[in-house]
Structure 1
Amino acid sequence: MVADAVRRCPALFLTAPASHQGKTTLTAGLARYHRDQGRVVRVFKTGPDYLDPYILEKASGNPVYSLDLWMTGETDCRRRLYDAAGGADLILIEGSMGLFDGTPSSADLAETFGVPVLPVIDTTGMAQTFAAIAHGLASFRPSLPFHGVLANRVASARHAEMLLEALPPTLRCLGTVMRDDAMTLPERHLGLVPAQEIDDLELRLQQAAARIATTALTELPPPIAFRPASTEVLPPLLAGVRIAIAHDKAFSFLYPANLQLLTELGAELAFFSPLADEELPPADAVYLPGGYPELHLAALSTNVRTRDSLRAHVAAGKSLYAECGGMLYLLDKLTDKLGQSGQMLGLLPGHATLGRRLAGLGLQSVTLGGQTLRGHTFHYTTTTTPLAPIAHAQRASGSGQGEAVYRHGSIVASYLHAYFPSNPVATASLFKP
């Protein structure tokens, strides 16, 4: 590695002491503010997430990739950050959960790449304790680069004074952002409402950018040195393979990196919408990603063209890979939390019911045919099926059995959301004709 290969770019890691502090809103506002100044902004999201990246993509105008030292791996993280530094004026990374939560944590990722952290702290119902929380985050791991703190959901000018009066002089507060429902992003059971369903998203992003304009974050953070990672030349394992991918409001959980890898492996991608009852395009394989089929039971249970073409695809023995919501769509029946049921495709025997509590959560990996894929699981449904699993995933940490993987004819299905670049060979095997 030579010194001139290093790329330098201003970068900041927005984190928090816990979830629901408003870090996605303020990360999006920060991205939009600097984009409006004519800067190229690249945003990344820590850990497995489909919903926040859509918001951040709308804010920044660029695709948002995931970074995770376990799921995507340090080499993948390093490569994506280095590539971004080659053309960006600012790199932003949004953390997940609290700064030190998880193994690996947001703090681990920030320290690995030397990106200074900026905790966003929801100050609702607190005053001087804000300083104690900020001090604890800054001092808990002395080796962690620290940029300062940002007070969020501040009630008034007097409230802002109380928040700052106990803050140590060595700890900077970059701003006090007032409570503002006009920029708050709506949520539902799996997290934020997807960007494509928020009709006034543009107004919310502009309002968040306007709030950022009142802070010291209008100035770019110091540049960080990003070093190249080793590159791997991928063999064209899917050359000549055409993959049809469901993509609409019911099936929207797609990592951009997954689609990118399929293309790099030589596959041709074609998209279709089950919600619009579109016929399956000519394809050698089908990918049914996760999403919200439980919110669209009426439409999915009556989509004759999509149903018949998918059934014909499977009857012909062609590959079909389904994840989480995609797997639910394959079942005989799906029931929402109100007890209303819809008939699904009937290609995978079983019935799923949406509950009010999490039924699966966390990073997991699965080994199929001697090849291991990493990914995650996050769902509120439980599935009953007479099928015996061909494998179970393993949890990245903790005890207990991971998600079941089912094979039924040419179908492979699981609750597990796979991160394809974690193993290109394993990925190709899922879509081989």
Structure 2
Amino acid sequence: MQTPARCPALLIAAPASGQGKTTVTAALARLYTRKGLKVRVFKCGPDFLDPHWHQLASGAPVHQLDLWMTGEADCTQRLHAAAQEADLILIEGVMGLFDGDPSAADLAQRFGVPVLAVVDASAMAGTFGALAFGLQHYRPGLPWAGVLANRVGSARHADMLRSGLRAPGDWLGALMRVTAGTDAGTARVAGALLPERHLGLVAAHELPDSRQRLDAAADALEATPLGQMATPDLQRWAVDFPLPAHTAAMPTLLEGRTVAVGRDAAFCFTYAANLQTLEQLGARVVFFSPLDDAALPECDAVWLPGGYPELHTDRIAANTGMKASLMAHVLQRKPLWAECGGMMALFESITHTDGTQHPVWGLLPGHVTVHKRLAALGPQQLVVDGHTLRGHTFHYSTAQSDAPVVSRTSRPDEPVAADAGEALYRLGSIHASYFHAWFPSNPLAVARLLGGVAA
């Protein structure tokens, strides 16, 4: 008989975005993986970019946890499975600890995971203690591990921060500034440690020295009380993760079908769980590069995920072979699901923030304009032929198109409005939207999008 699985776990949170949660989570994963522990990392909420770093740091797939988007049952199953095989579970929070509904604090309380608060202390001293006290006690019953001061300037600065804490046992150390040119043994990183651009962090696979950057952060963390903990010390944060409820087997509606998934520098926003869902539906998953390959692989359906087509418009336009192959695919009425960046590349042109217009593939009528500010952000749900998918939206561009709109997204617990939400365009066998879908939330809807038999 299966029982709850016990494993040390931490939820790494902060008062706000930009405090260093991702750096600390990746550094912890890298440090304890180097020590020989099996570390599993999760990301709270929708995010495609931070998991690249956590997967490189831990050497294991990274999944999302969100009490709304992925659901409590999915969170329970994934955490229980991880606890059965791991020595340490790390969960990176989202935004501030109490931001969002549900928040990272909600997840911590639901599963009893202690919160490690990361605070950017670069411009404070005594207030550090007040902030730590408030995070710990704002909500009664919040599991608590302690606080780590980030971007600390000196040993004296660290002493000032530590002296401001009400409970000395909350102190897990000071992480000194790790910036451009920081030495880590023989490693040396260039530029910002984890550089950013308009959609978030630059993915780890885009930087040739990404592993050296992680080692630099891990080496800095190793100098803290948190980083010096031995394996038995971590048991103070052991959590009993409950046994998931039995779920019915997923119908193999994509049995015998091959789904080609775009994967390269321009199309890289894929959840590991989405690929897993395709395989559970019976599909054979193959990958291709929309930027570099001259044609699609042999396939029955195509998924063009999101990413950065606006950074690669010249290469997209130049790949006329891929354009012709995609066109042939849809002329055969084979399904093509394009989300966010994948959809952008299917329009006629993309206008950059400098006003220059660049042609792209032109399989959909319309044009995209990239802005300097966010155009949309937040959790969304989409009804596809009567089946509701959960997911989110996050983009800096807007689209103008006269392609038929067959559905629109809505926020959680809000009705669909005809003039609000993200459009789901359908033209022939193409379905396209800014909406990023979490496939496990409704495999039947995914099968509909990808032409599953009897879906």
> TM-score, normalised to structure 1's length?
0.97
Maintained 8 Å contact 1:295/1:336: no
- Partner residue in 2 for 1:323: 339
Partner amino acid, structure 1, of 2:382: V
Alpha-carbon displacement from aligned partner over 1:24-43 (angstroms, at most 9, x marks no partner): 01100000000001111000
- Which of 376, 379, 386 is the equivalent residue of 2:392? 376
Alpha-carbon displacement from aligned partner over 1:311-370 (angstroms, at most 9, x marks no partner): 100111110000000000110111222223221111110000110000010000011211
Q: Secondary structure at the match of 2:23?
A: helix
CA shift at 1:427, angstroms? Answer: 1.0
> d(CA) in 2 for partners of 1:310 and 1:169?
61
> d(CA) in 2 for partners of 1:212 and 1:80?
27
- Partner residue in 2 for 1:428: 447
CA shift at 1:216, angstroms? Answer: 2.1
> d(CA) in 2 for partners of 1:233 and 1:62?
25
- Which of 123, 130, 143 is the equivalent residue of 1:132? 130
- Which of 5, 30, 33 is the equivalent residue of 1:32? 30
Alpha-carbon displacement from aligned partner over 1:4-59 (angstroms, at most 9, x marks no partner): 51110111110000000011011000000000011110000000000000010000
- Structure 1 residue ranges, 4+ long, deviating more than 3 angstroms after superposition: 397-400
Alignment of 1:417 onto 2:432? no
Structure 2 counterparts to residues 182-193 of structure 1, below 5 A: 182=182, 184-193=193-202
Maintained 8 Å contact 2:70/2:438: yes
Maintained 8 Å contact 2:162/2:168: no
> d(CA) in 2 for partners of 1:313 and 1:276?
18
Alpha-carbon displacement from aligned partner over 1:201-260 (angstroms, at most 9, x marks no partner): 111100111112112223225211011212331111110111111100000000000000
Maintained 8 Å contact 1:272/1:278: no
> d(CA) in 2 for partners of 1:151 and 1:214?
13
Alignment of 1:342 onto 2:367? no
- Partner residue in 1 for 2:405: 389
Q: Secondary structure at the match of 1:394?
A: coil
Partner amino acid, structure 2, of 1:432: G
Alignment of 1:406 onto 2:434? no
Maintained 8 Å contact 1:241/1:432: no
Deviates more, 1:216-225 or 1:8-17: 216-225
- Partner residue in 2 for 1:281: 297
- Partner residue in 2 for 1:306: 322
> d(CA) in 1 for partners of 2:291 and 2:384?
31
> d(CA) in 1 for partners of 2:293 and 2:397?
24
> d(CA) in 2 for partners of 1:170 and 1:72?
37
CA shift at 1:402, angstroms? Answer: 1.6
- Partner residue in 2 for 1:224: 239
Q: Secondary structure at the match of 1:390?
A: strand
> d(CA) in 1 for partners of 2:325 and 2:404?
26
Q: Secondary structure at the match of 1:328?
A: helix
> d(CA) in 1 for partners of 2:294 and 2:87?
41
Deviates more, 1:212-221 or 1:232-241: 212-221
CA shift at 1:196, angstroms? Answer: 1.2
Q: Where do 5+ consecutive residues of structure 2 fail to align?
A: 183-188
Maintained 8 Å contact 1:43/1:92: yes
Structure 2 counterparts to residues 114-153 of structure 1, below 5 A: 114-153=112-151
- Partner residue in 2 for 1:208: 217
Q: Where do 5+ consecutive residues of structure 1 fail to align?
A: none
CA shift at 1:129, angstroms? Answer: 0.6
> d(CA) in 1 for partners of 2:294 and 2:152?
48
Maintained 8 Å contact 2:301/2:335: yes
Coordinate RMSD, CA, aligned? 1.4
Partner amino acid, structure 2, of 1:187: E
Identity percentage over the alignment?
Answer: 54
> d(CA) in 2 for partners of 1:217 and 1:84?
22
> TM-score, normalised to structure 2's length?
0.92
Maintained 8 Å contact 2:125/2:164: no
Maintained 8 Å contact 1:19/1:98: yes
